[in-house]
Structure 1
């Protein structure tokens, strides 16, 4: 008997398909370089938020991949996707992984050029 929050282990749970994040806007316009720096800082510190490093590595690979490859990475790593845009995921041990939208897609107010 499992706890009331446990999920079925017999495979009858539907697999949540990964989708692109909805368009979002940063609090102020950012350049591509600033966005890259924000992403690098997040991924450098992500393992300190808890969870397992190999899951963080898989999530980073999935965030950088196209949707089909991202789905394969997530499925192979045993990541449980709560939100289809990958903003909230869990590993098989129940550790929670929260990804900010800026590591998953570009903001609508991204400054391009110069």
Structure 2
């Protein structure tokens, strides 16, 4: 996994780190119209190694949806996908890791989220991934939360990405439909040898050491084959494979996951 080395800023008047700022919920898709940060922009003088860092905290309860009427489960998931798909500032690799960490936090798996954050060298100064507001001692509000990468770039994530609003509307039939889809995927995973499809070489890049694990598989085989090969290399540690901003499900085939030969898959390695 690529890491960015800190270097002195060329400007003495700019002490604020670059900001990969989140947008309001109703304009997440509009982010594609904003200019991306130039690769030549100098990083902050404040390196990740010197910035305060705290263990991750469970996300705070979110009483209501960001707007009325209350969001449905389907709309909430759609907005979360749109949020990560439209980030144009910061590192794509970091956004992918944060997406995975947010999924862990929503499941209540803080330890796994912490492992992912640590694997890519991120700092969370107050332990809160999501941004919010806090009251100062003088009664004024201040912005809290957020994540910093090794260059000092700040990544801001809305609270509704990390936690479900308390008034989210669960639509009827969603759970039943999900169960049916899982059953279908299970049947596809039983494919015969002649259904394995075109053979390709998948390269999975390990986040903890930067080396690639190459696996020769058929496009009709599931990602579980890749997971097994990577697991043999890393031992008892855990791994999550991510490609084009999405986590690979073990029971989906490479064809279903949209893999193209020659692309590198990110393998986030973290402690169990």
Which TM-score applies when normalising by structure 2?
A: 0.37
Q: Distance in 1 between matches of 2:46 and 2:57?
A: 24
Q: Distance in 2 between matches of 1:83 and 1:92?
A: 16
Work out whether 1:62 is the aligned partner of 2:124.
no
Aligned residues: 109
- The equivalent of 1:104 in structure 2 is 162
Q: Distance in 2 between matches of 1:57 and 1:42?
A: 12
Work out whether 1:6 is the aligned partner of 2:64.
no
2:73 to 18, 32, 38: 32
1:21 to 49, 59, 66: 59
Larger radius of gyration: 2
1:23-59: CA deviation from partner (whole Å, max 9, x where unpaired):
122122111101011001101012x1x1111111110
Structure (1 or 2) with the greater helix fraction = 1
Q: Distance in 1 between matches of 2:93 and 2:55?
A: 21
1:75 to 102, 112, 118: 118
Q: Which runs of 5+ in 1 are unaligned?
A: none
1:65-92: CA deviation from partner (whole Å, max 9, x where unpaired):
1211000000111011134220211101
Once the 2 structures are TM-superposed, how far is the Cα of residue 7 of structure 1 from its aligned partner? 5.8
Q: Distance in 2 between matches of 1:30 and 1:55?
A: 27
Which TM-score applies when normalising by structure 1?
A: 0.83
Greater length-normalized contact order (CA 8 Å, ≥ 6 residues apart): 1
- The equivalent of 1:113 in structure 2 is 171
Q: Distance in 2 between matches of 1:8 and 1:42?
A: 25
C-alpha contact (below 8 Å) 2:101/2:117 kept by paired residues: yes
